[in-house]
Chains A and B, each alone.
Chain A
Amino acid sequence: MRLLTHNLLMCNLKTCAGQNFPLALQANEISEENTEFNLVLTQKMLGKLDWKAFHRVADSLGHTLPEELTPEDQNNDELMQRLHHLLFNIVVLSGTLTCQSCGRAYPIDKGIPNMLLEDSEEA
């Protein structure tokens, strides 16, 4: 799971609707890929991203980012390269995503987050 994808996932329990995001990330094993810098893709995903959630998860992994992203930042090549690296090259191989509302934990195994609910949990 790339760090980018953390920003997409939320607690799937219906009872958490409205307070199901972001999930807290506990990363046990991380690998770093070396994909080529893609400015267009980075800018596009920044447009979709919940910056606060990304800021927080990056911080939890020891990467300090600006509190807010200004339009000028989008032209800051150095920052864009850094964001590309964080979003696309940091891959969580194992760990847990935990809902901060209900405490439901979603495991990440072999790089794949498991968002499946148990039969008893489905609405």
Chain B
Amino acid sequence: MKLKQLESAIQEICPERDFGNTPTIELEQYSTPPRLAATLLLEIQDFITERIAFDLGCGCGVLSAGISVLEASMVYCLDIDQKCLDITSGNLNSVDIKAEFIRGNVEDFKGKDWADVVVTNPPFGTRKTGIDWVFVEKGLVLAPDVFSFHKTSTRKFFQKKVKEGGIGGEIMMTVPFELPKMYKIHKKKAVNVDVDIWHFSR
């Protein structure tokens, strides 16, 4: 599958990516741009196709949509926000995938070795320090491989965590991530931040 094809398929499955127009700033709700989601997912297709995937903090379900298109056998979508689960379950209704939805807080959620892969675009940790690492840690409980998005400015922090934890951690790519003006406190129309896409493994 070509990048453009996957990007359009995601856009078609997920027409609504603005959190019902009422995103919650404390949760740092930003949709993953479909092109970025498609770029990552094509790169890691072998981890997705016919595998069981977990999307931690699924938001509007952009990553889960791509995971479905690449024919995972099953996708788990977990989010703290009921609105996100409603949007994502509505979106994934149109595709042929076994999808499961769980409302939960990644910080408290008790999991076990269950899935093949976790794909997550966690909060960047701007509002709540360290929450980005919590997503990775929880991800590694649920699956042996975790692919996640983190601000490049946090690279040193993650490198330290990888070393301390004795886990695998590689930066696959660094990409510009457009943060649209979604919240009143934002002054600029949109800003681009550099984001590292990490592959963590236990």
Interface on A for B, CB 8 Å cutoff? 1-2, 4-5, 8-12, 20, 35, 38, 40-41, 44-45, 48, 88, 110-117, 122
Q: How far is the CA of A117 from the CA of B105 in the complex (A)?
A: 8
Residues B113 and A48 in contact, CB atoms below 8 Å apart:
yes
A10 CA to B74 CA, complexed, in Å: 20
Task: Give every chain A residue within 8 A of B109 (Cβ-Cβ).
Answer: 12, 115
Asked if B183 lies at the interface with its beta carbon under 8 angstroms from chain A, I say no
Interface string of B96-130 (1 = CB under 8 A from A): 00101111110111111110000000000000000
Q: Which secondary structure characterizes the binding site on chain B? A: loop
CA of A112 to CA of B79, assembled, Å: 11
Given known A2-B98, A20-B110, contact A116–B80 (CB-CB < 8 A): yes
Q: Are A12 and B108 in contact (CB under 8 A)?
A: yes
The answer to whether B74 and A112 touch across the interface, beta carbons within 8 angstroms, is: no
Contact present for A41 and B89 (CB under 8 Å): no
Q: Is the CB–CB distance between A2 and B100 below 8 Å?
A: yes
**Pairs A–B under 8 Å by Cβ, sample size 7:** A8-B111, A12-B109, A35-B98, A48-B113, A112-B101, A113-B103, A117-B108
Task: Say how far B181's CB is from chain A's closest CB, in angstroms.
Answer: 29
Contact B102 A41 (CB under 8 A): no
Residue contact A11 to B105, C-beta cutoff 8 Å: no
Beyond A12-B110, A48-B114, whether A116 also contacts B73 by CB under 8 A is no
Nearest CB of B to A93, in Å = 12
